[in-house]
Structure 1
Amino acid sequence: MHESLQKAVTKVLSPLVRLLLRHGVSHAEFANWAKQAYVTEASEHFGIKGKSPTVSRMAIMTGINRKEVKRIRELPSEVGTGVSKFNRAVRVVTGWLQDQEFQNDRGKPDVLRYGDPEDSFNQLVKRYGGDVPARAMLDELKRVGTVDHQEDKVTLQHAGYVPHQSESALLDIFALSATDLLTTLEHNLHKTDQRRLQMSVAYDDVTTEGREHFRKLSAKQGMALLKVLDKSLAGFDKGTTSSVTGEGSHRIGLGVYWIEDISSQDELAAASDKEDKPT
């Protein structure tokens, strides 16, 4: 069992290690982060009868000595992960894409006016951004390259909240999306009788022409699917629709992502050409 687990986890860690190496993070620094994750997960999910485990029990479970467990548990909680800000920015952009009030005659996102409380961009943020001020939301969308702001006009640059000019925003999305996917995969391994939706389509010998065809098709169909799902789900979200009532407060959703191995033939060829060129 441990051999299979080791192979699976090593493979999962590969893209994470690439990210860490690009950012100059050493193995020792990553090991410290991993210890924090071990202690956090043990504390939050492996207690008995709803109670957090003792330091001694956590030391036994994690293999980290009691002194180190105690030190990690006393570290200040992390704040400002960007997840809340990300979620609200997504809601605003999605509302811009979906709500007819903020679209032009062709059903495309309209150029909105920003300034007075009654201006269209301000109203968009008021409707979909919760308690975030319009100025703060505009600054965030500008920071990541999602909108263009000229005088009193705001133009949507991309069909979704996809940061193009902020590495920190991209890392927020990386953390959120990777955690969501791994949480579902771990759940399906642990609770085989209550499996969550987990599907994908991939082939391993596709031509370059086929890759480009599928890239365009998947982008178009994926966006169409997410728009339908977003419209349906928003109707049950108390934070988005003020008239919604009912019990529970769940974070649920569905992710769509592109699959392509880093070792694709085109990338290998490009890397080879780069190595052959004189410097």
Structure 2
Amino acid sequence: MSDKNISQSPGQPPAALVTALRKLLRPLVRLLLSFQVSYPYLTALLKSVYVEVADSEFSVDGKRQSDSRINLLTGVHRKDVKRLRAEHTNEPVLPATVSVGAQLIANWLGSARFRNEAGDPLPLPLRSAQIPPAGRAQQAPSFDDLVEMVCRQDIRPRVILDEWIHLGVAHQDEQGRVVLNTGAFTPDKGFDEKVFFFGKNLQDHISAGTHNLLGNKPAFFDRSVYYDRLSEESLQILNELAAELGMQALRTLNNEALALQRADEQKVASSVTKSTKTSKNPNRFRMNFGIFHYNSRYETQANTQDGAQSQQDQDNA
């Protein structure tokens, strides 16, 4: 570890880290219990992840890890290490609505053609034929245009729209135009889609925090605003403000990231055209910027309801 000010006894993690881990694990265990993920199941999963991370990220001088060293690092028995290293973990397939939808939303929010003067996403006629003649002369965009720009001819726009309406990403107004819902960076419905963003966003948030705790430089931005003596009325005001400011920040960063990625792609395309030599694509890095807002009001209500239900179950037993 880079931070030499950490007080730690041999074989014992820092007490402050253990306290933080307990806080981090509580909501995770609550989720696991809600989906009947048992402790034995979790320990088996955790064992495989320990071996995977030790194998891929803790090698010495880039040399291939031995089973004995992974056993020493993780405490996992060598027989289990050997078995787990021989198994090929299949990464879950990315839901199609996520991979396509994220690109469509990014371009809808980030492309000047699909925004109004205030920078808000335009309501889009489903097809170009729905655009009045005067609008066609000005090449007003349609939802078809957006889908074709991202997906070419691979997916029909109507299929995407039906799925988006089901997930709460978009709706059609009284004129039949496709309207992007306010919080459309993540869907309101669809478990596979929501759990994908849950894993991706928390993975990157924890990765940023881990990077900072280890004293690596430059540090990632990771800040929050914390108050703990607020009324329900104040929480409602802050909840609405957090949503408004959060969406402003996400849109601003999305627009800049989209423009930069397009410029990066053009640079690579230009260099390939000018030279017959093939080189490694420099555009191989990813970023993830997230904003979260939390308050204890709804969690307290949920815990009260769960407690009442648990007591009722015991009374009925």
TM, length-normalised to structure 1 = 0.82
Corresponding letter in the other structure for 2:266: S
Deviations 1:146-190 (A, max 9, x none): 23479x964434442322221111111110011011000100011
SS at match of 1:35: helix
Task: Name which of 150, 153, 160 aligns with 2:184.
Answer: 160
For structure 1, the 5+ residue unaligned runs are none
Pair 1:31–1:267, CA change in 2 (3 A) = closer
Given that 1:97 and 1:159 are in contact with CA atoms closer than 8 Å, whether structure 2 keeps it comes out as no
Task: Name which of 244, 253, 260 aligns with 1:229.
Answer: 253
Tell me, in whole angstroms, the C-alpha distance in 2 between the residues paired with 1:232 and 1:193.
Answer: 24
Offset at residue 102 of structure 1 (A): 2.8
Pair 1:273–1:63, CA change in 2 (3 A) = closer
Task: Name which of 115, 124, 148 aligns with 1:111.
Answer: 124
Matched, 1:22 2:34: yes
Mapping 1:28-39, distance limit 5 Å: 28-39=40-51
1:147 alignment partner in structure 2: 170
Mapping 1:1-279, distance limit 5 Å: 1=8, 2=13, 3-82=15-94, 86-103=98-115, 107-113=120-126, 120-128=142-150, 133-134=155-156, 137-138=160-161, 140-148=163-171, 154-238=178-262, 242-245=265-268, 247-261=282-296
Tell me, in whole angstroms, the C-alpha distance in 1 between the residues paired with 2:92 and 2:310.
Answer: 41
Given that 2:95 and 2:193 are in contact with CA atoms closer than 8 Å, whether structure 1 keeps it comes out as no
Tell me, in whole angstroms, the C-alpha distance in 2 between the residues paired with 1:232 and 1:178.
Answer: 23
Tell me, in whole angstroms, the C-alpha distance in 2 between the residues paired with 1:60 and 1:173.
Answer: 34
Tell me, in whole angstroms, the C-alpha distance in 2 between the residues paired with 1:219 and 1:50.
Answer: 45
Given that 1:90 and 1:160 are in contact with CA atoms closer than 8 Å, whether structure 2 keeps it comes out as no
TM, length-normalised to structure 2 = 0.73
Which moved further from structure 2: 118-127 or 192-201? 118-127
Tell me, in whole angstroms, the C-alpha distance in 2 between the residues paired with 1:51 and 1:125.
Answer: 46
Tell me, in whole angstroms, the C-alpha distance in 1 between the residues paired with 2:205 and 2:113.
Answer: 34
Corresponding letter in the other structure for 1:13: L
Offset at residue 95 of structure 1 (A): 2.0
- Whichever of the two has the greater Rg, that structure is 2
CA RMSD of aligned residues (A): 3.5
Which moved further from structure 2: 247-256 or 153-162? 153-162
Tell me, in whole angstroms, the C-alpha distance in 1 between the residues paired with 2:253 and 2:309.
Answer: 43
Pair 1:42–1:205, CA change in 2 (3 A) = same
Given that 1:237 and 1:244 are in contact with CA atoms closer than 8 Å, whether structure 2 keeps it comes out as no
Given that 2:67 and 2:81 are in contact with CA atoms closer than 8 Å, whether structure 1 keeps it comes out as yes
The aligned length equals 276
Deviations 1:65-103 (A, max 9, x none): 122112112222323442786354222113223434334
Tell me, in whole angstroms, the C-alpha distance in 2 between the residues paired with 1:273 and 1:71.
Answer: 45
Which moved further from structure 2: 66-75 or 155-164? 155-164
Tell me, in whole angstroms, the C-alpha distance in 1 between the residues paired with 2:264 and 2:155.
Answer: 18
For structure 2, the 5+ residue unaligned runs are 1-7, 130-138, 269-280
Identity %, equivalent residues: 23
Corresponding letter in the other structure for 1:70: K
